[in-house]
Structure 1
Amino acid sequence: MEMEQHIRQIIRSENNITVENLMSIVMESRYNSYYRIQQPLGKAGDFITAPEISQMFGEMIGIWCIDLWHKLNRPQKIDLIELGPGKGTLLCDILNATRHIKKFSTAISLTLVEINCSLKKIQQDNLLSFNVPIKWVKSVNHIVSSYPTIILANEFFDALPIKQYIKKINQQSGQINWLERVVKIDNNNKLYFDTIDADINENKFLKLHNNAPNGGVLEISPVQHQTIQAVSNLLKKNGGGGLIIDYGYDISPEQRKNYQYNSSLQAVKHHQYHPLLENLGRADLSAHVDFWSLKNIAVAEGIVSFGSISQNVLLHKLGIKTRLNMLKQINSDENLASKLDLQYNRLTSVQAMGELFKAIAITSAPSIIPLGFYNSNYNSFK
């Protein structure tokens, strides 16, 4: 049975399906979901992530990992965990860039959080030559680790399901109502978005956004919150740090402007924006990440947060410009130099990924200040 038929059956049975449940089923469920059966990455897929654009990205993250390892007093064993590792390209570039640091390369064990069996096979093949212990788990909650830990999440959180709430103000009474966005089937048998009543008490985050405009859309992701809680608890237990890079925003409810309450839910297929309710299970669904919420949840769990800073700022602080010049000196070919410049610009320019993509770091103690975040704001548990 096709994914859309499965969704339609649920709607006919329940009268609707929430945006959160739709994303969960389409992207993550065992039922022919996108991330279980598709190969979304690369030119032949639906999107390209930063590690696929250039080796320089992974090399910079490798520098970040080495620095953190030093600040953890160079433990003899360390767990390097990646959430949603794609083809394993980021880890390959990290391992390749740090190969010459023998004490680090022999200390590493890898844990990959992955639900796609096809991608798991690709990861296994790509990482085989590094001769590093590897284990795969299907969720953050299945991670078993007792060593100091480094956690990486590049374009992972944006694919986790979100709830969408729409604020409605009664023009006569002024009463505020929050409605949850759902999908239904119309009289012409077509899928469409609608709303149902939502209990404001079911989510404490709704109460933080009473200043949202009439008709404003608020996106909340309980799954993202649960994931950052699990990651924070792992770091609190083992010691270590994490780096989260994604596209999104870092705005407190008090600072949020009216125009910033809108839907960021999008579908992408073959590198083009795609109608949200077409080809369910065959297009990538994602939404902007609320970094402000992630940071505050981590801090509430007793973890220290740093940032956010833009991907442009992070990569330059890690030395990407120097690395670009080194690669161009090593290879005098003009075509290759031009290609490297294009890769660099795509990763760092404001018009491409440089500003939209942001990074936060979390560590198990205030004394562990991650590279690239020295002058960024940080919050710690009081």
Structure 2
Amino acid sequence: MTDTSPDPAEPALPERLARAIALAGPISLAQFMGAANAHYYATRDPLGAGGDFVTAPEISQMFGELVGLWCADLWDRAGRPACHWVELGPGRGTLAADARRAMARAGFTPPVHLVETSPVLRAAQAERVADATFHDSVETLPAEGALIVVANEFFDALPIRQLVRRDQWHERLIACQDTLFLPIAGKPVPDTVIPEPLRDAAIGSILEVAPAAIGIMRSLGRRIAAQGGALLAIDYGYEGPALGETLQAVKRHGFANPYEAPGEHDLTAHVDFTTLAAAGQTAGLSAWGPMEQAEWLVRLGIDSRAAALARHAPDRAEAIAADRMRLVNGMGALFKVLALTARDWPEPAAFG
């Protein structure tokens, strides 16, 4: 495994950020969040009971299997073209392994591409999907053949900007005293960057925007529009634009101060699925949804799959039922599912 321990000669991330702010002034929240999450994911496996959070693929194999069957069905009805399967931010590789197993049973055995920058997580992914091709960014994905892209809890961890309403709208910046980081209001921003219905919002209102997520969606959208394929995004979020602060830090399955100890906990923000869909449509794709994860999983047959697993492992029937309950009832309303397809591809399953 790659050695990811910090270089003892290099100052810790909080000190580096504090020094950068002292030299050049406050930085954007996007810069702060980007640096914090890059360090966080590069230096640990954050998943599981002993980590900081658990994702749907780690709860039950049913999740990854249904994702895989969704992909295989779409590929089949698109005419079985030459195709690559891609996952963005694949965690431990659990979803990829479960999806691949389900796809193979349906006759779909595409090359697997994983977009991941963390050496720790790449090592875990390689154990589960040994022949995967790794990429540092979406820009190096294959330029020929359709792309079916899965992004489960990927967009929420990308850097956001926050705009705060005072006498005018201002971008929120991060200042520092010693290594105590705190948000402040920066210079005013033009009203034209604020959606018109929100421009006269009450004093103190916060608007979050995600330029990094939009950039990745547009880049992938252009590729999929030209090459064929689809993108499936599953994340917690809302249909915007909307006001409110959703930035949060998670550590040991609880909430933490997002401005404290950058790089030592996961920073995320809820995904604006309306804006994400619009970015894909602008790139030439058709959008489907978003819909709640609960309805999507039920329409795809999670109840039948849970029943089949319980029949084959009756000693685990209660645990399987609890996992199904967590995916559908626990996470089902907060998490949304959005699909985007090339315009000559069929309507994806469960969205009709």
Deviations 1:340-377 (A, max 9, x none): 1111111010xx21100001000001652001111xxx
> Which residue in 1 is equivalent to 2:151?
153
Distance 1:208 1:233 in 2: 29
Do the aligned residues in 1 keep the contact of 2:73 with 2:349 (CA within 8 Å)? yes
Distance 1:67 1:189 in 2: 52
Do the aligned residues in 1 keep the contact of 2:214 with 2:279 (CA within 8 Å)? yes
- Computed over aligned residues only, the root mean square deviation of the Cα atoms, in angstroms, reads 1.6
Q: 298, 310, 324: which one pairs with 1:316?
A: 298
Runs of 4+ in 1 over 3 A off after TM superposition: 203-208
**How big is the shift at 1:206?**
4.6
**How big is the shift at 1:38?**
1.9
Distance 1:364 1:284 in 2: 33
Distance 2:113 2:36 in 1: 25
**How big is the shift at 1:181?**
1.0
Do the aligned residues in 2 keep the contact of 1:158 with 1:288 (CA within 8 Å)? yes
Do the aligned residues in 2 keep the contact of 1:303 with 1:363 (CA within 8 Å)? yes
> Which residue in 2 is equivalent to 1:377?
none
> Which residue in 1 is equivalent to 2:7?
none
Distance 1:372 1:211 in 2: 38
Do the aligned residues in 1 keep the contact of 2:250 with 2:265 (CA within 8 Å)? yes
2:172 is the counterpart of 1:181:
yes
Q: 59, 64, 83: which one pairs with 2:65?
A: 59
Q: Spell out the pairing of 1:31-70 with structure 2 (5 A cutoff).
A: 33-70=39-76
Tell me the secondary structure at the aligned position of residue 115 of structure 1. coil
Unaligned runs of 5+ in 2: 1-10
Q: Spell out the pairing of 1:363-374 with structure 2 (5 A cutoff).
A: 363-365=341-343, 368-374=346-352
TM-score for both structures, normalised by structure 2: 0.93
Do the aligned residues in 1 keep the contact of 2:228 with 2:345 (CA within 8 Å)? no
Distance 1:190 1:134, change over 3 A: closer
> Which residue in 2 is equivalent to 1:172?
none
Tell me the secondary structure at the aligned position of residue 336 of structure 2. strand
Distance 1:149 1:143 in 2: 9
> Which residue in 1 is equivalent to 2:231?
242
Do the aligned residues in 1 keep the contact of 2:180 with 2:260 (CA within 8 Å)? no
Task: Provide the identity percentage.
Answer: 34
Distance 2:199 2:183 in 1: 23
**How big is the shift at 1:142?**
2.5
* Structure 1 letter corresponding to 2:312: I
Distance 1:185 1:100 in 2: 54
Distance 1:178 1:346, change over 3 A: same
Answer with 265-274 or 157-166: which moved more.
265-274
Deviations 1:298-356 (A, max 9, x none): 111111001010000110011001111111122222xx11111111111010xx21100
Distance 1:217 1:226, change over 3 A: same
> Which residue in 2 is equivalent to 1:379?
none
**How big is the shift at 1:262?**
1.6
Q: Spell out the pairing of 1:39-188 with structure 2 (5 A cutoff).
A: 39-75=45-81, 77-102=82-107, 104-105=108-109, 108-128=110-130, 133-169=131-167, 177-186=168-177
Unaligned runs of 5+ in 1: 170-176, 375-382
> Which residue in 2 is equivalent to 1:193?
183
Distance 1:233 1:8, change over 3 A: same
Distance 1:140 1:207 in 2: 32
Q: Spell out the pairing of 1:325-364 with structure 2 (5 A cutoff).
A: 325-333=307-315, 336-349=316-329, 352-364=330-342
2:24 is the counterpart of 1:14:
yes
Distance 1:302 1:192, change over 3 A: same
> Which residue in 1 is equivalent to 2:8?
none
> Which residue in 1 is equivalent to 2:5?
none
Q: 245, 270, 286: which one pairs with 1:263?
A: 245
Aligned length: 342
Do the aligned residues in 1 keep the contact of 2:162 with 2:208 (CA within 8 Å)? yes
Do the aligned residues in 2 keep the contact of 1:304 with 1:366 (CA within 8 Å)? no
Distance 1:189 1:357, change over 3 A: closer
Tell me the secondary structure at the aligned position of residue 104 of structure 2. coil
**How big is the shift at 1:141?**
2.1
Distance 1:262 1:100 in 2: 44
Deviations 1:258-288 (A, max 9, x none): xxx2210000111111111222111000000
TM-score for both structures, normalised by structure 1: 0.86
Distance 2:211 2:32 in 1: 14
**How big is the shift at 1:208?**
5.5
Do the aligned residues in 2 keep the contact of 1:305 with 1:362 (CA within 8 Å)? yes
Deviations 1:199-236 (A, max 9, x none): 226x7345453143221100001101101001101101
Distance 1:205 1:139, change over 3 A: farther
Do the aligned residues in 1 keep the contact of 2:83 with 2:147 (CA within 8 Å)? yes
**How big is the shift at 1:238?**
0.7
**How big is the shift at 1:35?**
1.6
Distance 1:179 1:330, change over 3 A: same
